[in-house]
Structure 1
Amino acid sequence: MYSILQKIIWIVIIKPYKSLNLRSGGPHGELGASLRYLSQRYSMPYPELKAILTDIGTEELAHLEMVSAIVYQLTRGLTTEQIKNAGFDTYFVDHTTGVYPQAASGEPFTANTFSVTGDVLADLHEDLSAEQKARLTYDNILRYADDPDVRDPIKFLREREIVHYQRFGEALRIATDNLDSKNFYAFNPSFDKK
């Protein structure tokens, strides 16, 4: 269990914007990240790793809230002409301006984009990779977003993905330091007993 401190980490205020390809539920999105980390924590064999995954998974939920606020503020109040011109019409037919988790390509969120193996090393390596993919997604958004009201929170989110990557590196070091073996892959400390 964990408790939530309700504190605003970033106030997202966005004016209508011409590009509407920012989505929360893509293969490298915040929804998948939060579910990945909060699910993986149960099989982590060391309390420090459970704490890191809980912290980062909870922060990813806050990131999901920020991304959702951006998506909503980008779409609210648009005219039908703006909706068509932005290529937002197919989304609008199903969801109006509701925030539905999907990729920029329009694919709905699916849990098939992440893994929970129950193996501390496999899961932490996946987490390191996931944070790099999230950073890359934000890099790509920054390449086409020109509105400072969009860019500033995206820069903040990108920075946090780098911090998460560093924390998962720390978690991997904690895991390997706790493995009493020259061959880290000799057993799964989440499952096998020595």
Structure 2
Amino acid sequence: MWYYEKKLQYPVKVRECNPRLAKFLVEQYGGADGELASALRYLNQRYTIPDKVIGLLNDIGTEEFAHLEMIATMIYKLTKDATPEQLKAAGLGDHYVAHDSALFYNNASGVPFTTAYIQAKGDPIADLYEDIAAEEKARATYQWIIDLSDDPDLNDGLKYLREREIVHSLRFREAVEILKEERDRKKFF
């Protein structure tokens, strides 16, 4: 069921050490609309969704783990040579004291990840609309990080991730239409 190729889904390059950008990226690592929350949401929802879209949730959920790996790599590269003073100046002093350079699932403000981020209503159409919203919020966050970044190498990877969020949103929209047609034919609900 699982095949892991030991390479990133898309190459991650970083021009220079930049803890400030790393702090922003932490939002996509452990925030409410980040990659971990999305992966867990979709892989959880697949158990209560009609067969016609189970594969979609499985595919996108596992891809979100690949995105999480990219974000972790970006954060690592942005902080790998940072001094404690640079981390403190970037607002990562508290993180450094608690975790040194280890990644920890929290958002950019330092709030720890919570399973409250993982939405699942049990109504397939409601869940897919939640998924569309999650993808659109992630797309917006990637754009805002790009807007704050002056690293063209990092931005290349962020643009890739932003585009994948758009694709996922479109796929979920297609799934909603499929399920609405099924509902209207009274095959479920």
- The two structures share one fold, judged by TM-score above 0.5: yes
CA drift of 1:45 comes to 1.5
Question: How much has 1:11 moved relative to structure 2?
Answer: 2.0
Residue correspondence of structure 1 range 65-104 to structure 2 within 5 A: 65-104=69-108
Query: What is residue 2 of structure 2 aligned with on the other side?
Result: 3
Q: TM-score, normalised by structure 2?
A: 0.91
Give the secondary structure class of the aligned counterpart of 1:99: coil
Report Cα offsets for 1:51-109 as digits up to 9, x if no partner: 00000000000000001111111111211221222121111011111111111111111
Distance 1:71 1:168 in 2: 29
Letter in 2 for 1:9: Q
**DSSP-derived class of the 2:184 partner:** coil
Mean alpha-carbon deviation: is it higher for 139-148 or for 13-22?
13-22
Looking at structure 2, the residues matched to 49 and 158 of structure 1 have their Cα atoms a distance apart, in angstroms, of 23
User: Which structure carries more helix by proportion?
Assistant: 2
> What are the residue-to-residue correspondences of 1:1-80 with 2, within 5 Å?
2-6=1-5, 8-14=8-14, 15-19=16-20, 20-23=23-26, 24-46=29-51, 48-80=52-84
Q: Point out the more displaced range, 30-39 or 145-154.
A: 145-154
In the alignment, structure 1 residue 169 sits paired with structure 2 residue 162:
no
Number of equivalences: 183
Distance 1:176 1:158 in 2: 27
2:56 and 2:77 map into 1 onto residues whose CA distance is: 32
1:107 aligns with 2:108: no
TM value normalised by structure 1: 0.88
Give, as a single letter, the amino acid of the residue that structure 2 aligns with 1:114.
I
What is the letter of the counterpart of residue 32 of structure 2?
P
Counterpart CA distance in 1 for 2:88 and 2:30 is: 22
Task: Encode CA deviations 1:147-188: one digit per residue, 9 max, x unaligned.
Answer: 11221111100000000000001110111111135xx8xx9x
Counterpart contact for 2:19–2:79, Cα < 8 Å: no
Higher CA-based Rg: 1
Shift of 1:37: 0.2
User: Which ranges of structure 1 fall in alignment gaps of 5 or more residues?
Assistant: none
- 15-24 or 60-69, which moves further after superposition? 15-24
Range with bigger deviation, 152-161 or 13-22 = 13-22
CA deviation digits over 1:92-142, x for unaligned, max 9? 011111111111111111111231111101101100111111111111101
RMSD: 1.7
